[in-house]
Structure 1
Amino acid sequence: MEAAMPKPTVPKPTLSKSTVFVLAAGLLLTPVGPAAAQPSGAPAREAPASFADLAEAKLPSVVTIAASSRPPNRQTARSDQPGGGDGPFSLFPDSPLRDFMEDLLRKQIPNFGGGLERRGPEPGPQGWPGKSLGSGFIIDPGGYVVTNNHVVERADTVEVTLTDKRKLQAKVVGTDPKTDLALLKVESDKPLPAVHWGDSTGMRVGDWILAIGNPFGLGGTVTAGIISARARDLGAGPYDDFLQTDAAINQGNSGGPMFNLKGEVIGVNTAIFSQSGGNVGIGFAIPSELAGPVIAELRDTGRVTRGWLGASVQPVGPDIASALGLTEPTGALVAEVSNNGPAAKAGVESGDVVTEYAGKPVQEPHDLTRMVARTKPGDTARVVVQRDGKPMTLEVRVAELQPPSQQAEAQQQKPGEGQLGLTLAPMTSELRKQFSLDTDINGAVVVEVAPNSPAARSGFEPGDVITRAGQQPVEGPDDVTKAVEAARKSNKDSVLLLRRREGSALFVPLPVG
């Protein structure tokens, strides 16, 4: 389970036929030839008379990045993406909207090659875009350069162009796809102008910022704006915590720096929200609070390690809060605990609601995901859970998150709505075979769901297994019936059931009225 700072609840932008998220990397149209952020409650500062001095000082540290890749093997190419199967929307690899967005962009943008971050001036064989173009910035005079992962991923060669027109070959030191960050290294015969990280937590909505990058191949472009919002969750990954800005950010700005008025980097520009592929005043940057430690770890070890608890969590909606007797629908509900994982060893149980981690409140699963991820593997964290209406404090020794092939990541799951209307049966060998159920799963098996019934509308399907009801383990259908009756006698609106399906678990509140 991965988990950082609580973020305000905001409506997510709606994707329509004319609206897409576009990674802000690469379309090449032409050859590539101060005051501190105010703390909360401080008086507002007037707009600066000019950004010229700040821009002049920071422009030399911003670079253009051109990444080239060979076309993939034909056998691995997708049929709907000429010349390759791995290109588009690297932050949305499993989204059902992926193909739709690609097709839409092909219609909207001439010569679109399957992913903005991999568009080049000269498409490769079969239309495969062999080049991507983005931005970056130097963080060390010795030649360390920060950019986005999607600018350089799968690249065979990476070239960095400085403001003095020098072109340097770059080595990829390390990448972190989960945060879309990458660190490069170039060799120069003289020290390079570098910039430094600032404190993104001190930035307030309305504060001035400056963005510098390489939009549409126009290197050395400076734009100004304000912080429009904080802690935006775009659904791009488990660590979403973007700064939003109205400064003009376009394709090619990916990996470029966002400066505060002191000239410190408080964000890495990475994506835009657009109806046309161009800037509409909504851009997003990875905050320095997240980017700085990731880049430091890439520099030290070439990889990023993250903490892992070994549990699946889901949001606590109003129905679930009512079923659990909670006064507020906040926290992270533990749906499933991995065998022999850190959470299991610490005594965390399915049905617990995590309300505090390492002394910080947990408002929703995303908070927990980010906080756990930032915990050093091997460290011990104090976790407060609500169990049977009472708080309980546990000490968890955090382990290291392994790749998915070695250890499944904790996933956030959306709660469904549940009502009565199920036909249940005890677990038998015949039912295990019929529904391909694992031998270690026990409980009440859903064998029938009436068409158009509340249960059907809730998403229950034959083959689901109910393993807990009303916070008690379920051995068979009678246990579910008892939990329903107990909920009614207690004047509860619903009973909470833990539903297992295809290796995953999800708590579903069922109305009992």
Structure 2
Amino acid sequence: MNTGNVKSITTIVVVAILSSVITLFGYNAISKNSPKGVISPAVNIGTNEYADSFDQDKSVKLASLTTQQGYPDFTEAAAKSVNGVVHVKVKSISQQQYMNPFDFFFGFGERNMQPREQIGFGSGVIISKDGYIITNNHVVEGATEVTVSLNDNREMTAKVIGTDPQTDIALLKIEGDDFPYLTFGNSDALQVGEWVLAVGNPFNLTSTVTAGIVSAKNRGNIVGGNLSIQSFIQIDAAVNRGNSGGALVNTKGELVGINTAIFSQSGDFNGLAFAVPISIAGKVAADLKQYGAVQRAVLGIQAPNIDVVRRQDPERARELSQIVGVLVEDFGDRSAAKAAGLEKGDIIKAINNVHIRNFAELQDQLSRYRPGDKVKVTVERNGKEHSYTVELKNDAGNTEIQRSADNMSVLGATFNEIPAARKRQLGINSGVEVSSVTSNGLFRKEGINKGFIIMRVNNTPVNSESDIANIVSNVSRTSQDKVILIAGFYPNGRTQYIAIDLSQGGK
């Protein structure tokens, strides 16, 4: 080998070594400076805070696993998840119309309401060692009795701690101190195409695990009614009736969502299912545990609804659909955003440096905060960016934390649940009995005394003190007139409708 060849080979080797070193150091520098690691997503501080509310052990996690062939392996995640998911059985009373056939033929036509016991089923997720359980509000709504069955076949009576119809989340509690539970994961870190498991009890088939991928995030306008959530996780894992309230977990066995709804004309799985992200469900559960009522923070802005605009002005709807962010069309009364300096026509681009592309993402971010929290709001105005510090308020325009106990204390009453057999005797499908009243409460002031049966509050059936507390709390937070209308009766007396002004505070 001649000298020239030796020099050429040496040069190539040196260049290769230098290239490797530069690449290694370059990759290391990029990894250190990158705000978001591809392998390790940013920690969700909010979710960790909610996990702390239930004393979750953050070390209880699994590593993502694959088989020797490189396929995802769900066995450990599934084994962990089924022990933390429970079967929920709910008893409720419904009214069934009955007409005497003789009355029909002879023209009287009077219908009698016959109470009938109904049994419903769903799923729930244990989220703490001492037995707190997340499920859906629609699973336990109107329940007179709730029992849960664990994966080891133990059956226990559950207490409804609180419910939130707006997010369809409810919090239950069973007695004990050593239950298997699921730890909260980071639903923000989920990526479209990522594998997830749905764990629940479809068609009463307990401990059922199905697998699929995340099909989309921040899905809005999926479910009607009173639901305010606009940021569902969409999945293609098989979810059916009975899965409601069950767990959506990642391959680490972490809880990232609560399975809530399916998109189907038949009522059975049709390829599309939706879960409430744990970033929202966890916060709701923590609020229900700590305050007995959900603390909702708002900016106090009004944004255009593109679907409504499209029907009236298709051209403007097309313009609005091109906006990346949320257009501030107007402000509500006592608006926190307006007080901070935002103006009509501003486009909200970020909340605490988290980019906002649409109203669903804005709502998702705001749902993590409570009244009184301060957030940095970045807006675009006339092509330039501006940032404002906004102190968030509640729907009533203040920063007070609402507690169900505080709201209920002004009523000056205690309540007893009515057994199903007595409801049947009284001919009612819902009701709570007033067991005592204080001398300075609003009940005594309005003439409601011990023994009064409350059937409905604001035309909503009530079956427990927590049902009344949720309605009172909602009115206290969101209504300007602060009035509840009670429908009830004394046994053998006529039905009465009594309006109570909560703002009087028992004075």
Q: TM-score range by the shorter chain?
A: 0.5 to 0.7
Question: Among residues 390, 395, 398, which one is paired with 1:401 in the alignment?
Answer: 395
Q: Does 1:287 align with 2:277?
A: yes
Following the alignment from structure 2 to structure 1, what is the Cα–Cα distance between the partners of residues 65 and 322?
A: 34
Q: Using a 3 Å threshold, how does the CA distance of structure 1 residues 320 and 380 change in structure 2: closer, same or farther?
A: farther
Percent identity over paired residues: 40
Question: Among residues 186, 192, 208, which one is paired with 2:174 in the alignment?
Answer: 186
1:25-54 deviation per Cα after TM superposition (whole angstroms, max 9, x unaligned): xxxxxxxxx64399xxxxxx93245x4444
CA contact (8 A) 1:259 1:267 kept: yes
Q: Give the match for residue 367 of structure 2.
A: 373
Tell me the SS of whatever aligns to 1:230. Answer: strand
Q: Give the match for residue 267 of structure 1.
A: 257
Tell me the SS of whatever aligns to 1:55. Answer: helix
Q: RCO higher in 1 or 2 (8 Å CA, sep ≥ 6)?
A: 1
1:163-219 deviation per Cα after TM superposition (whole angstroms, max 9, x unaligned): 23222111111222222111110113x622222112223332333222221111111
Give the stretch that moved more between structures: 204-213 or 166-175. Answer: 204-213
**Paired residue type of 1:303:** A
Q: Give the match for residue 17 of structure 2.
A: none
Question: Among residues 241, 245, 251, which one is paired with 2:231 in the alignment?
Answer: 241
1:464-484 deviation per Cα after TM superposition (whole angstroms, max 9, x unaligned): xxxxxxxxxxxxxxxxxxxxx
Q: Give the match for residue 78 of structure 2.
A: 55
Tell me the SS of whatever aligns to 1:141. Answer: coil
Taking only aligned residues, the RMSD between alpha carbons, in angstroms, comes to 3.4
Cα distance, 1:245 vs. partner?
Answer: 2.1
Q: Using a 3 Å threshold, how does the CA distance of structure 1 residues 47 and 336 change in structure 2: closer, same or farther?
A: same
Q: Does 1:156 align with 2:144?
A: yes
Following the alignment from structure 1 to structure 2, what is the Cα–Cα distance between the partners of residues 322 and 60?
A: 49
Tell me the SS of whatever aligns to 2:198. Answer: strand
Question: Among residues 205, 208, 211, which one is paired with 2:198 in the alignment?
Answer: 211
Cα distance, 1:251 vs. partner?
Answer: 0.1
Following the alignment from structure 1 to structure 2, what is the Cα–Cα distance between the partners of residues 393 and 57?
A: 44
Q: Give the match for residue 36 of structure 1.
A: 64
Question: Among residues 100, 104, 118, which one is paired with 1:130 in the alignment?
Answer: 118
Q: Using a 3 Å threshold, how does the CA distance of structure 1 residues 312 and 132 change in structure 2: closer, same or farther?
A: same
Q: Does 1:226 align with 2:213?
A: yes
Aligned residues: 317
Following the alignment from structure 1 to structure 2, what is the Cα–Cα distance between the partners of residues 256 and 327?
A: 35
**Paired residue type of 1:382:** K
Residues 70-85 of structure 1: pairs in structure 2 closer than 5 A: 70-71=93-94
**Paired residue type of 1:222:** V
Q: Give the match for residue 252 of structure 1.
A: 242
Tell me the SS of whatever aligns to 1:399. Answer: coil
Q: Does 1:314 align with 2:314?
A: no
Give the stretch that moved more between structures: 211-220 or 390-399. Answer: 390-399
Q: Using a 3 Å threshold, how does the CA distance of structure 1 residues 223 and 360 change in structure 2: closer, same or farther?
A: closer
**Paired residue type of 2:64:** A
Q: Does 1:170 align with 2:169?
A: no
CA contact (8 A) 1:37 1:203 kept: no
Tell me the SS of whatever aligns to 1:135. Answer: strand
Q: Give the match for residue 436 of structure 1.
A: none
Q: Using a 3 Å threshold, how does the CA distance of structure 1 residues 335 and 304 change in structure 2: closer, same or farther?
A: same
Following the alignment from structure 1 to structure 2, what is the Cα–Cα distance between the partners of residues 352 and 321?
A: 17
**Paired residue type of 1:221:** T
TM-score where L is the length of structure 1: 0.55
Q: Give the match for residue 337 of structure 2.
A: 343
**Paired residue type of 2:70:** E
Residues 351-370 of structure 1: pairs in structure 2 closer than 5 A: 351-370=345-364
Q: Give the match for residue 129 of structure 2.
A: 141
Cα distance, 1:156 vs. partner?
Answer: 1.7
Cα distance, 1:72 vs. partner?
Answer: 5.5
Q: Give the match for residue 286 of structure 2.
A: 296
Q: Give the match for residue 188 of structure 2.
A: 201
Cα distance, 1:406 vs. partner?
Answer: 5.3
Q: Using a 3 Å threshold, how does the CA distance of structure 1 residues 339 and 240 change in structure 2: closer, same or farther?
A: closer
CA contact (8 A) 2:220 2:360 kept: no
Tell me the SS of whatever aligns to 1:375. Answer: coil
CA contact (8 A) 2:200 2:206 kept: yes
Q: Using a 3 Å threshold, how does the CA distance of structure 1 residues 231 and 128 change in structure 2: closer, same or farther?
A: farther
**Paired residue type of 2:139:** V
Tell me the SS of whatever aligns to 1:350. Answer: coil
**Paired residue type of 1:374:** R
Any stretches of 5+ residues in structure 1 without a counterpart? 1-33, 39-44, 75-124, 410-513
Q: Give the match for residue 106 of structure 1.
A: none
Cα distance, 1:274 vs. partner?
Answer: 1.7
Tell me the SS of whatever aligns to 2:324. Answer: coil
Cα distance, 1:128 vs. partner?
Answer: 6.4
Residues 388-427 of structure 1: pairs in structure 2 closer than 5 A: 391-402=385-396, 403=474, 407=478
1:247-306 deviation per Cα after TM superposition (whole angstroms, max 9, x unaligned): 221100111112222221122111111232222222222222222222222222222212
Higher helix proportion (structure 1 or 2) = 2
Any stretches of 5+ residues in structure 2 without a counterpart? 1-61, 98-112, 397-473, 481-507
Tell me the SS of whatever aligns to 1:368. Answer: helix
Following the alignment from structure 1 to structure 2, what is the Cα–Cα distance between the partners of residues 315 and 169?
A: 44
Following the alignment from structure 1 to structure 2, what is the Cα–Cα distance between the partners of residues 126 and 208?
A: 48
